[in-house]
C-alpha cells in the first residue's frame, strides 16, 4: 500500500473533518500518501481529486461540515458511473479508499469493492446514528446537543405561554436523536418510527397531564414517525381542542462545531480505518462498540437493524409523569 484515498459522502455530519484529518495524518505517519476526493462519489466520478498532506488538514478538527465537500450521487448509481470512478482511482494509483458517510455511501463503497476489487473501509459519519455495528456514529452527539439547545429554548417560550410544543427532529427512518433529546430535554412524549404509537392515546395522555397540573408540554417527534410533527399536532388539537405549536428543527441539526465526543470518535475511527486498509481489510466498516473497535461487513450496516435503546425510551416515558 502506497497511496490511499479519502472522501466524505451523503449528509454532512459534525466531526467529518476530524475524521479526514485522522486519515491523512495516520497515513503520513506510516509513510503513505493521501488523495483527497471532493464532493463524495460525484467527485470521484468526475476525477475531482488531489494529494493532501498533514498541513492541509490543520485547523479543521473543530469545524462543522466537511472541507472535502459532500454530495448524494446519482452518477454512482449507474455501472458506467462507477467504472469511471474506478478508472480515476487507477489513474491516481490509489490502492485503498476510506469512505466517511452513512448507509447510502456504504452501498456505493460496497459496489466499488465488489465490482472492482478496490479496498474500501467505511467510517460511520451521519447524525442519524442508524448504522448497525457501532454504538455511535460521528456527528450524532453534536446533533443531539444542538437539538437539545433548541428544545430548551422552546421550553422557555412554551412554559411562558402555557402551550404544547411539538418539535420535529431529524433521523431519517430512525428515532435515536429523538429518544436522547426527549430524555435529556425532559419531554412529555416521544414519538419514533421504531415504536408505533396511537395519536389519540397520546392526546388523551396530554389531557391527563393537564389535569395533573402540567401547564405546558414538549412532544418530540422523529421525522420518520408517520405524519411527523404536523400530524401529531393536528391529532392532539382535534382530539382535545388544545392549541399546539409546531417547530421543525431541520438542517440546523447538521451544523456547528463537533462536540468532544464526536471529535474523539472521528479521530479514533479515522486512524483505525487507515490502519485497517494497511492490514489488507476491505468491504468493512470500522465502528466502536463498548469503547472497543468493531469491524462489520459494510453490508450489515444497512441490512441489520440498530434499535433505539429501550432503557432510554422507557425512562423518558416514565419520567414524564
Interactions with ligand F6P, residue window 70-99 (CB under 6 A): 72
Q: How far apart are CA 3 and CA 100, in angstroms?
A: 17
Shortest separation between residue 55's beta carbon and ligand F6P, angstroms: 31
Q: How far apart are CA 46 and CA 73, in angstroms?
A: 11
Shortest separation between residue 127's beta carbon and ligand F6P, angstroms: 5
Is residue 128 part of the annotated active site? The answer reads: yes
Residues binding ligand F6P: number (CB under 6 A) = 11
281 labeled binding residue: no
Between 21 and 254, whose beta carbon lies closer to ligand F6P?
A: 254
Shortest separation between residue 215's beta carbon and ligand F6P, angstroms: 32
Q: Which three-class secondary structure string do you get for 151-214? A: HHHHHHHHHHHCCEEEEEECCCCCCHHHHHHHHHHCCCEEEECCECCCHHHHHHHHHHHHHCCC
Q: Map residues 105-134 to x or -, x wherever contact with ligand F6P holds by CB under 6 A.
A: ---------------------xxx------
Q: Does 39 bind ligand F6P (CB under 6 A)?
A: no
Torsion angle of C-alpha atoms 38, 41, 44, 49, degrees rounded to 10: 10
> Residue 250 contacts by C-beta under 8 Å, 6 or more apart in sequence?
170
Residues 23-58, buried b or exposed e (16+ Cβ, 10 A)?
bbbbbbeeebbbbbbbbbbbbbbbbbbeebeeeebe
Q: How far apart are CA 291 and CA 135, in angstroms?
A: 9
Interactions with ligand F6P, residue window 145-184 (CB under 6 A): 170-172
Catalytic residue among 128, 130, 262, 283: 128
> 25, 39, 254, 271: which one contacts ligand F6P (CB under 6 A)?
254
107 labeled binding residue: no
Q: Does 262 bind ligand F6P (CB under 6 A)?
A: no
Annotated binding site for ADP: 21-25, 155, 186-188, 212, 214-216
Could you list the residues known to form a binding site, using ranges. 11, 21-25, 72-73, 102-105, 126-128, 155, 163, 170-172, 186-188, 212, 214-216, 223, 245, 251-254
Residues flagged as binding site for substrate: 126-128, 163, 170-172, 223, 245, 251-254
Name the residues that contact ligand F6P, by CB under 6 A.
11, 72, 102, 126-128, 170-172, 223, 254
Amino acid at each position: 500500500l502506497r497511496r490511499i484515498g479519502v472522501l466524505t459522502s451523503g449528509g454532512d455530519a459534525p466531526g467529518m473533518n476530524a475524521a479526514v484529518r485522522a486519515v491523512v495524518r495516520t497515513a503520513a505517519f506510516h509513510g503513505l500518501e493521501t488523495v483527497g476526493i471532493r464532493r463524495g462519489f460525484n467527485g470521484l466520478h468526475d476525477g475531482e481529486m488531489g494529494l493532501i498532506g498533514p498541513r492541509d488538514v490543520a485547523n479543521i478538527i473543530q469545524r462543522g461540515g466537511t472541507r472535502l465537500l459532500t454530495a448524494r450521487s446519482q452518477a454512482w448509481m449507474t455501472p458506467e458511473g462507477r467504472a469511471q470512478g474506478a478508472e480515476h482511482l487507477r489513474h491516481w494509483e490509489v490502492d485503498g479508499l476510506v469512505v466517511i458517510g452513512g448507509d447510502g455511501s456504504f452501498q456505493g463503497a460496497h459496489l466499488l469493492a465488489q465490482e472492482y476489487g478496490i479496498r474500501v473501509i467505511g467510517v460511520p459519519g451521519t447524525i442519524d446514528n442508524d448504522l448497525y455495528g457501532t454504538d455511535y456514529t460521528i456527528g450524532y452527539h453534536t446533533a443531539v446537543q444542538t437539538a437539545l439547545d433548541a428544545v430548551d429554548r422552546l421550553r422557555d417560550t412554551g412554559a411562558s405561554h402555557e402551550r404544547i410544543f411539538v418539535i420535529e427532529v431529524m433521523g431519517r427512518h430512525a428515532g435515536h436523536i429523538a429518544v436522547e433529546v426527549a430524555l435529556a430535554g425532559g419531554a412529555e412524549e416521544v414519538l419514533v418510527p421504531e415504536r408505533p404509537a396511537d395519536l389519540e392515546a397520546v392526546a388523551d395522555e396530554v389531557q391527563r397531564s393537564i389535569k395533573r397540573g402540567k401547564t405546558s408540554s414538549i412532544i418530540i417527534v422523529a421525522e420518520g414517525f408517520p405524519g411527523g410533527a404536523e400530524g401529531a399536532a393536528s391529532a392532539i388539537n382535534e382530539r382535545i381542542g388544545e392549541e399546539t405549536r409546531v417547530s421543525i428543527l431541520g438542517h440546523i441539526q447538521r451544523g456547528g462545531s463537533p462536540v468532544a465526543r464526536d471529535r474523539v470518535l472521528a479521530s479514533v475511527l479515522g486512524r483505525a480505518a487507515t490502519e485497517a486498509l494497511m492490514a489488507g481489510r476491505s468491504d468493512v466498516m470500522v465502528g466502536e462498540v463498548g469503547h472497543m473497535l468493531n469491524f462489520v461487513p459494510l453490508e450489515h450496516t444497512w441490512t441489520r437493524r440498530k434499535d433505539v435503546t429501550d432503557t432510554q425510551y422507557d425512562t423518558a416515558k416514565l419520567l414524564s409523569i
